[in-house]
């Protein structure tokens, strides 16, 4: 009985060690600003149909003040008939993340209401947005390339 219990404990310990080692491989470089990350993402050529709008856009579309965060980059649609957006925020404190995610959710819902009756393509993009939080960074994208943009974000913060 003791030998069987010992083997089970060894196997459980080994499994836990393997899981920890596999999940601990991705380190986030928290010395980057949102502008540093933006540069890496823009270099991929995936940022299309968007223009950088900065702190004025953040206030207008999200009701947020860029001074509340460490750094912010916002791209919004070139045309009022499009929904493509990309937001990169480095928060000052991780306690800001939940509120920021709620604000992003409100923005998506507002856009869905605006385009709901006449923009099925735009609603499709909005329903497939990407939102990713890593360390002190929050990334949000609405685009036909949203998943690829998210992957570029993840690469940029390594």
Residue 10 is assigned to a structural domain of this protein = no
For residue 80, what pLDDT band results from cuts at 50, 70 and 90?
very high
Which tokens is 61 given? 């579309």
pLDDT given at position 16:
52
Strands 85-90 and 130-134: unpaired
How many domains does the chain divide into? 1
Which domain, by its residues, includes 42?
Answer: 34-157
Which of 109, 138, 139 is closest to 126 using CA atoms?
109
Residue 18 is assigned to a structural domain of this protein = no
For residue 21, what pLDDT band results from cuts at 50, 70 and 90?
very low
Cα distances (Å, whole numbers) of residue 73 to 31, 34, 64, 106, 118: 16, 6, 12, 19, 29
For residue 27, what pLDDT band results from cuts at 50, 70 and 90?
confident
Q: What is the pLDDT of residues 8-17, one digit of tens each?
A: 555 565 555 4
pTM of the model: 0.83
Residue 23 is assigned to a structural domain of this protein = no
Strands 71-77 and 50-52: antiparallel
pLDDT given at position 92:
97
């Amino acid at each position: 009985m003791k030998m069987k219990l010992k083997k089970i404990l060894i196997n459980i310990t080994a499994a836990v060690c393997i899981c920890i080692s596999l999940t601990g491989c991705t380190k986030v470089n928290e010395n980057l600003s949102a502008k540093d990350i933006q540069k890496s993402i823009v270099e991929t050529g995936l940022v299309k149909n968007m223009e950088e709008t900065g702190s004025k856009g953040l206030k207008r579309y999200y009701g947020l003040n860029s001074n509340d965060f460490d750094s912010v980059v916002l791209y919004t649609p070139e045309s009022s008939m499009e929904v493509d957006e990309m937001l990169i925020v480095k928060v000052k404190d991780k306690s800001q993340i939940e509120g920021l995610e709620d604000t992003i959710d409100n923005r998506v819902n507002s856009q869905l209401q605006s385009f709901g009756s006449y923009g099925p393509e735009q609603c499709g993009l909005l329903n497939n947005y990407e939102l990713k939080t890593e360390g002190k960074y929050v990334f949000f994208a609405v685009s036909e390339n949203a998943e690829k943009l998210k992957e570029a974000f993840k690469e940029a913060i390594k």
